[in-house]
Structure 1
């Protein structure tokens, strides 16, 4: 099981230069961005620590993050595209050729829509029109109360069909084959920030809250779950190494405080 955050060695924290983090229910709390979280993002930036959200959220939403938040870029749509802010412009970098990914997305959308007929409680996410590579199914964002049983049934069905489907805290995200948060994270860290993965394992902390963060927990030894990940822990093969006391964005702010207290 994950250890308390205070067990994270202070000497290890001195090496951290990057914080990769999920967004929904990791930076946010009950759907909103707490003041403490926004302050933490600015304090990390001022300390020279780069923050990169890694989200299943749509490219349109991620474009806003990259423009208005103090972040070094956004990995969007579960790893389908990286948004790089540079000289006042947002550059889009797709994991594979953009045209091919848009064509494959259309095929995935048709497949998902055919299955949704049998799950009337579930619906395409409201942001589907602003997605460039994947398909998102809402089970706990606009759908209230959350449709957990239907989510699990549809998730199992999609996986049986061989689709790359994962659940976040609000959506089922159906990504293209080979697309994953960790695949794009490796690409971004090595190609845009010139880190070897050996360096990344020492300099990167990853923060998450849901099963679709599991590949990131597996990759990065310095991984942290915010407290609201607790209901999912028994479902995961790869757990976060550490756990905050607070939930969502307040847990992220707790981690930021702890990290900043132990910088040189």
Structure 2
């Protein structure tokens, strides 16, 4: 379910001439019975609402006074979301002949044409107040308070996200909370300026329009509106014609696949950064701790402390939690698939109740969900949505999982072979006209499986912020024989193993110049940084050093060392001795 909340304005939307008719009340009741939440967002004062809306308890939260007051109908509790103006502000307005004046818990309201006098008093008193207009009403509120901020407070109180809200309104003061919601709806009697910015306009007016909206939610969760919600699409990059390529943030499964060192982590980090900027929540299932340095997430688990499924669920349930990365290094290798199998049903259940996390990222998916994967009974691969899988070996991933993929982003060498492996394993037909492609760094061969367009080259948008990596795993840990670096020299007479970056720097200082230069010019350092350390930016730095003409062995050693120490937190004794 995409929409867990209906947020509705009162006057002119739910109500006609100040009253909500019985068919609208019944529709609200049916929507509540479907498990969704109801939030009223109104400019009215609470006391007025309690008098004219006897069914107020239908709502889970009420945002009154144009965003300044939160009310919980179930326990009759009020929460002021801002401070009221000083008492002498009202006296000065009256002295200017402003009236009638209505004073709420926070809001002060009057009518046009008194706005000029109101603004004069605000300036004279040096107050941080703003004036909001609504159908002739002049509402005075603390600066920055509006229906969007009020709705945000209500959603935090409910532990929900604006990306799971459909909002409906009719007037000027509804712009803010409609634009902050995933789907913005205007009833047919709405002002033209609101209709221009709405994702959908009902064909009926007032409460009848709300009833029409509720029927759509109950029938198919407004699935027919999805193609119109392109304002939420997340940037992937540009195609060969310099046209932006964007991805829907809802309802898709993405597979990032390709050779080691091809840029999978850079592409994925860029996508996650842009999802986070748009306030979509994600969780990363990280078997090897490769996302510990990602500053967008709160971390669970490390090599010495295994995360638990309960911890993951509890952390994601907090409304203040942005994103979570789950480091599985503290879990025995053979037990990691089992942990993943326990986690996925819990994430599905959490989504069913809250809509979050919006995305689940599974790194090294071929380890956690291999070809022989038998999912837990509650996990149905074809029903999983908002999944981002990352793998070097698409042919080693469970076919049932691959069948659910909507977008394939092939990275690295021979991306056409990656697509063929995907098709062979998933049973999907190979796209027409698939030919050999040589990608430049930062490019991907993108295939949108549900579109007619064949796979095409995309220059992906990089992350905005260069990450400084703090992972002790790469700096001091033991990466194992297969992922270590070996100084062998030009004639292969050496076999000096660097199992981490500290060992690499120590050995680099001791090997002869010929050995150092041999590996530098062969691109071995750049390759290891990308494939063993999984750091594309460090690999690129090594390539730049290798391509710089006239550098001595000592100079290139120094530049590689500085690039490592700029990105990684190394032990204090290592930094001192260097």
The reply to whether TM is greater than 0.5 is yes
Deviation at 1:32, TM superposition (A): 2.4
Closer, same or farther: CA 237–260 of 1 in aligned 2, 3 Å: closer
Higher relative contact order (CA 8 A, sep 6+): 1
Q: After superposition, give the CA deviation of every residue in 1:58-109 in whole Å (9 maximum; x if it has no partner).
A: 12134455874411010010111100133xx21111113xxxx24x253443
Q: Which residue does the alignment assign to 2:94?
A: 113
Q: Which residue does the alignment assign to 1:85?
A: 73
Give the alignment partner of residue 204 of structure 1, picking from 160, 165, 168: 165
- Name the count of aligned residue pairs: 215
Give the alignment partner of residue 8 of structure 2, picking from 14, 21, 25: 21
Give the alignment partner of residue 100 of structure 2, picking from 113, 120, 123: 123
Q: Which residue does the alignment assign to 1:194?
A: 159
CA distance in 2, matches of 1:43, 1:170: 34
Give the alignment partner of residue 244 of structure 1, picking from 186, 202, 205: 202
TM-score normalized with structure 2 length:
0.34
Do the aligned partners of 1:105 and 1:135 also contact (CA within 8 Å) in 2? no
Cα root mean square deviation, aligned: 2.7
Structure 2 SS opposite 1:123: coil
Deviation at 1:243, TM superposition (A): 0.9
CA distance in 2, matches of 1:158, 1:55: 22
Deviation at 1:184, TM superposition (A): 1.9
Closer, same or farther: CA 229–113 of 1 in aligned 2, 3 Å: farther
TM-score normalized with structure 1 length:
0.71
Matches within 5 A, 1:1-264: 14-63=1-50, 65=53, 68-86=56-74, 89-96=75-82, 101-102=83-84, 104=85, 106-115=87-96, 117=97, 123-124=100-101, 128=102, 131-138=104-111, 151=112, 153-155=113-115, 158=118, 161=122, 163-169=129-135, 171-190=137-156, 192-195=157-160, 199-201=161-163, 203-231=164-192, 233=193, 239-263=197-221
Do the aligned partners of 1:63 and 1:83 also contact (CA within 8 Å) in 2? no
CA distance in 2, matches of 1:37, 1:171: 26
Do the aligned partners of 1:29 and 1:250 also contact (CA within 8 Å) in 2? no
Deviation at 1:134, TM superposition (A): 0.8
Do the aligned partners of 2:7 and 2:39 also contact (CA within 8 Å) in 1? yes
Flag the structure with larger Rg.
2
Deviation at 1:51, TM superposition (A): 0.8
**Unaligned 5+ runs, structure 2:** 124-128, 224-578
